[in-house]
């Protein structure tokens, strides 16, 4: 990917993959969360958090959560979602 690809993508669309709208993305998220073997975790590290849909779910199950992304836009949205969780 060229430098700045994701920055440009998120600048033009806050949810370019439609994580919050598409049924298949919502189903994939639900299956991912239900497949976690434990109800609670002391710590978690999510790489490539995008707009934070999984991050918001993980925040409810983790004592500490670090979520990162290559683009500076999405993590600020993730922080807002995590604070609301």
The per-residue pLDDT for range 42-60, each reduced to its tens digit, is 999 999 888 889 998 999 9
Domain boundaries defined on the chain? 5-84
Predicted TM-score of the model (pTM): 0.80
pLDDT of 81 over the 70 cut: no
Kindly report the CATH class assigned to 5-84.
alpha beta
Q: What distance in Å separates the CA atoms of residue 31 and residue 22, rounded to the nearest whole number?
A: 14
Contact 77, 51 (CB under 8 A): yes
Contact 42, 62 (CB under 8 A): yes
Look at residue 48 in the predicted model and tell me its pLDDT.
87
Q: Which of 6, 49, 7 is nearest to 29 (CA)?
A: 49
| Dihedrals phi, psi of 51, to nearest 5 degrees | -90, 0
Higher pLDDT, 15 or 70: 15
Look at residue 27 in the predicted model and tell me its pLDDT.
98
pLDDT of 40 over the 90 cut: yes
pLDDT of 82 over the 90 cut: no
Q: What distance in Å separates the CA atoms of residue 9 and residue 68, rounded to the nearest whole number?
A: 17
């Amino acid at each position: 990917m060229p430098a700045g690809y994701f920055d440009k993508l998120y600048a033009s669309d806050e949810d370019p993959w439609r994580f919050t709208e598409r049924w298949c993305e919502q189903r994939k998220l639900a299956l991912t969360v239900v497949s976690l073997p434990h109800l609670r975790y002391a710590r978690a590290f999510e790489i490539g958090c995008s707009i934070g849909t999984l991050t918001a779910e993980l925040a409810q199950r983790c004592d500490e959560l670090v979520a990162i992304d290559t683009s500076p836009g999405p993590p600020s949205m993730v922080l807002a979602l995590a604070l609301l969780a």
